[in-house]
A = this chain, B = another copy of it.
């Protein structure tokens, strides 16, 4: 590889790094514990990456933890173009997914080809949710806003009309599939929270 090619690769990587800076401005529907503002997707991605790394130490899950971490760093960068979608939204998921893939292709395409292929592969693996690493990653991703809301006495659930049944139905299958121990723990915490009145009342639509 010539010096010029090396410099071009480096410039491409840095173009990518400056583009993903925009993820710091994408807001989610969950607040950091004890804060008034919504969290952004960049800080969320950091927290779940470190969560997965930590969790893998004691769980002895038969996964490549560093692949899971890498997927979690990448999994939401499409939101730079399409924004965050509230996990309890009822529809529009198919169109959303296609738009997100186009976004991830555009953003990774700023990096050198080899890097772009690697990063896009991480995103697609997470999205497909078939490997144990991807399922573990999804479990941690789904679980974390629930933990934050539990620490914020229900947080965004009440204000967004989300019932206990809706949380169980939307979060449970992915957490249980990717990390059964985590779901076992979380289910108990959700049952406690229900007794404390952290959820919006159940309606036919939300159950």
Q: Write the residues of chain A forming the contact surface with B, with a CB cutoff of 8 angstroms.
A: 6-7, 9-11, 13-14, 16-18, 20-25, 32-33, 35, 39-40, 42-43, 45-47, 49-51, 53-55, 57-59, 66, 69-70, 73-74, 111-112, 114-115, 118-119, 144, 147-148, 151, 181-182, 184-185
Question: Could you list 20 further interchain pairs (A-B, Cβ under 8 angstroms) beyond the known A13-B55, A21-B33?
Answer: A9-B58, A10-B55, A10-B181, A11-B185, A13-B51, A14-B147, A17-B47, A17-B50, A17-B144, A17-B147, A21-B148, A22-B33, A23-B43, A45-B46, A46-B46, A54-B115, A57-B112, A58-B112, A58-B114, A69-B69
- Give chain B nearest CB distance to A117 CB in angstroms: 9
Report Cα–Cα, A39/B20, bound state, in Å: 14
Task: List chain B residues, Cβ under 8 A from A25.
Answer: 32, 35
Could you say which of B10, B43, B55, B118 contacts A24, with CB atoms under 8 Å apart? B43
How close is A7's CB to chain B, nearest CB, in angstroms?
7
Residue among B10, B53, B58 making CB contact with A70, cutoff 8 Å: B53
How long is the Cα–Cα vector from A16 to B55 in the complex, in angstroms?
Answer: 10
Interface residue SS majority, chain A: helix
Asked if residues B112 and A17 are in contact (CB atoms below 8 Å), the reply is no
Is B74's CB under 8 angstroms from A70's CB?
no
Separation of A26 and B13 alpha carbons in the complex (Å): 27
Nearest to A53 among chain B residues (CB) is B70
Q: Are B53 and A73 in contact (CB under 8 A)?
A: yes
A115 to chain B, nearest CB (A): 4
